[in-house]
Amino acid sequence: MKLPFLRHTNPRRIIEGGVLILLGGAILLLIPVEIQRISGMETKLSPSFLPSTVAILLILMGLALVIQGILPPRPVESKSTFTSRESTFRVLLSIVLLIVYSILFPIIGFVATSALFFFIYAYLFGMRNLIKMTGGGIAASVIVWLFFEKLFNIPLPHGVLF
Amino acid sequence: MLTHLVPAAQLFFTIQNLLIVSLGLFIGITIGAIPGLNVPMTVALLLPITFYMQPIAGISLLLGVYKGGTYGGSISAILINTPGAPAAAATCMDGYPLARQGKAGKALRASIYGSVIGEFISDIVLITIAAQIAAIALKFGPTEKFSLVFFALCTIGVVSSEDKIKGLSAALFGIFIRTIGSDPITGSSRFTFGIFNLIGGIPFLPHLIGLFAVSEFFIQIERKVSSSKKDIVAPVSKNREDNIVTWKEFKANIKTIIRSTLIGIGIGALPGSGSAISAFVSYGAAKNSSKEPEKFGKGSLEGVFAAETGNNAVTGGALIPLLTLGIPGDAITAIMLGVFLVHGLVPGPDLFVKSANIIYAIFIGLIVANILHFFIASIGLRLFTKLLSISRAILFPIVIMICVAGSYTVNSNIFDVYVMIFFGVLGYIMKKFNFPVAPLMMGYILGSLLETSLVQTMILSNGSVLPIFTRPISLLFVILTVFFVIWSLFIQRKSRANKI
């Protein structure tokens, strides 16, 4: 049971605010490590002045979100963040696939890798027609390659295949 | 102005430039018509290609996409009740009911006329006042520049999201991202984590392709809407009268068109607002002053004229702050900033002095694009209608292919592709939690100017920030910022209270 003053609590907003506070805090912690100090320079003119100001403002924004999440009136909620477990899995899979794609295409070659990943992504979008998926993949990757390399003379990696 | 017209016309009027503007319009209308694909995404995807073009050609291509895309959303809004672009959401309200009454052709024609007239007048206003604003802006010192950038960032932060705190946080995070790399004043490294590729900062293009295109790809794959096929209403009716806008109907809507154009220009010139807001404000204003307000939402031609004129009139307005002050008016013009910068052109008052011929060539391009827009939209109407049924299972894998190729080719560096993926994931997470991405990009773009102008101000005043509040123009921007933020927070609180 929630305490009376927490009746209006909006956990999502508190989490969002918390993330901003953590982000601001992380920037503040990183400043002494990641910014070269210049001795004798006035604090306001030093390279850490703007990042510190931004970090403090982010923390204040985070606090404002947390306060909004605790105090009434409860903010009007927007639609749910993630639609379903299956869709979240699909997004995670597509992120992993994109990383694999970007690792493979300089090695194998842009056209071959793109045709393969067109096939996989079309499948993830729900297409099941193998001819369309294969033909579409080859055609699309060749057209993109022609567009970049032949029309605008922008080189793409050829790799071991093409 | 007249002295620059002849050399500017010589610069612009080449077969290549005319073809490129037409291609840009065609791509823009196509992208705008297909729900799920949007203009910022397309402009981001085309940006790497423009790096290899002449400046006028590259800018013309993107302007064509901008104009075409803002209009194109109305085709799907009218025929399938789904706005192809957010700017066309207001068009659905009367466009689709008109289509259901067999008057899709009339609504589509009204949309073309409203869009072309709106953008034509807004371009004329841009051409007329740009040089004057630039002349005033030339007198701005670092203090005024700082206040102006601060005002622009706060405005986009509060305007681009229903949740003002989230919008401002996104802008702040964008400023932080800009601080990664070498400090612009001392050159010392910041937040590079020992990664050599980060010394030059986060690369512009992969950053924005990630934020606008890759994040949208993840959103679409999550929804898994493989086809945008819906019941497409026939765009042509057997009754000729239903396919055209008669002179009488046009004459009755001239007031609405002019009002919506003025609203569009004003909103466009305000940093961060954009065409969707303009369309709804214009629609609301037309309804309030209409003789037949009861018809709105049930198939009012006035409603279509208001929404479509309002959203396209933004295109000229949004270019005013970009070209005269170097401050983009919306997300699309912010992306377009890239094509200027890569060709060594820094948008702002200096551009009117150093590269006046290019500026006037762009102005000529805008007017020519409006004329071409009218013909391409009118002639290609049936073709654009057919594009509505293209499967997203084909479109989005192509989009991701272009994203990867576009990010890689700028520096032929795989690191840029990783940056693109990082910002794609970040953009996706931000969208899921209702954090707008446009302020982040604006913070990134304007962060450097904000920092250098602030430091210069403090150097000139022995470390004091007081000049920001004592110099009159700077103080005016500060007052405007405070007023704007408080006013928008008040509006947000009021609308929440009404919803509860």
Are A100 and A137 members of one domain? yes
Structure tokens at A160: 């071991």
Domain ranges, residue B391? 2-499
> Which of A20, A38, A70 marks a domain boundary?
A70
Which range has the worst mean pLDDT, A48-57, B175-184, B240-249? B240-249
Are A9 and A59 members of one domain? yes
CA distance A129 to chain B (A): 11
What is the tens place of the pLDDT at every residue in B94-117? 998 998 888 888 999 999 999 999
Secondary structure of residue B293 in the 3-state scheme: helix
Q: Which of B48, B169, B188 sits opposite A20 (nearest CB)?
A: B169
Nearest CA in chain A to B195: A34
- A101 band by pLDDT with thresholds 50, 70 and 90: very high
Report the alpha-carbon distance of residue B163 to residue A77 in Å, rounded.
Answer: 11
Domain ranges, residue A21? 4-70
Report yes or no on A102 lying in a domain. Answer: yes
Are A110 and A144 members of one domain? yes
Are A100 and A145 members of one domain? yes
What is the tens place of the pLDDT at every residue in B26-55? 999 988 888 777 888 888 888 888 888 889
CA distance A4 to chain B (A): 19
- Mean per-residue pLDDT for B350-372? 91
- B400 band by pLDDT with thresholds 50, 70 and 90: very high
Report yes or no on A18 lying in a domain. Answer: yes
Q: What pairs with residue B190 in β-bridges?
A: A35, B181
Report the alpha-carbon distance of residue B289 to residue B65 in Å, rounded.
Answer: 33
Residue B70 parent element (H or E) = helix B55-80
Cβ contact A91–B409 (<8 Å)? no
Report the candidate in B373, B304, B384, B376 with the shortest Cα–Cα distance to residue B99. B304
Which pLDDT belongs to residue B158? 83
Report the candidate in B478, B238, B445, B203 with the shortest Cα–Cα distance to residue B347. B445
Report yes or no on A46 lying in a domain. Answer: yes
How many domains does chain B divide into?
A: 1
Which pLDDT belongs to residue A3? 58
- Mean per-residue pLDDT for B144-172? 88
Produce one character per residue of B239-257: b if its CB has 16 or more CB atoms within 10 Å, e if not: eeebbebeeebbeebeebb
Q: Which of B16, B161, B172 to mutate to test the interface with A (most CBs of A within 10 A)?
A: B172
How many domains does chain A divide into?
A: 2
Report the candidate in B71, B84, B78 with the shortest Cα–Cα distance to residue B97. B78
Which pLDDT belongs to residue A155? 86
- The residue whose two tokens read 């805090």 is A25
What is the tens place of the pLDDT at every residue in B209-219? 999 899 989 99
CB B306 within 8 A of CB B286: yes
Are A89 and A120 members of one domain? yes
CA angle B454, B455, B457 (to 5 degrees): 65
Are A15 and A61 members of one domain? yes
Q: Which of B417, B451, B497 sits opposite A50 (nearest CB)?
A: B451
Which pLDDT belongs to residue A25? 93
Report yes or no on A77 lying in a domain. Answer: no
- Helices in B244-355 by DSSP H: which ranges? 247-252, 254-269, 275-288, 301-312, 314-325, 331-342, 349-354
Looking at the complex, does the CB of residue B494 fall below 8 Å from at least one CB of chain A? Answer: no
> ω before A73 within 30° of 0 (cis)?
yes
What is the tens place of the pLDDT at every residue in B423-442? 999 999 999 998 999 899 88
Are A89 and A65 members of one domain? no
Report yes or no on A158 lying in a domain. Answer: no
Q: Which of B48, B188, B408 sits opposite A36 (nearest CB)?
A: B188
- B274 band by pLDDT with thresholds 50, 70 and 90: confident
Cβ contact A144–B424 (<8 Å)? no
Report the alpha-carbon distance of residue B36 to residue B274 in Å, rounded.
Answer: 18
Are A60 and A92 members of one domain? no
pTM recorded for the entire structure: 0.87
Are A50 and A94 members of one domain? no
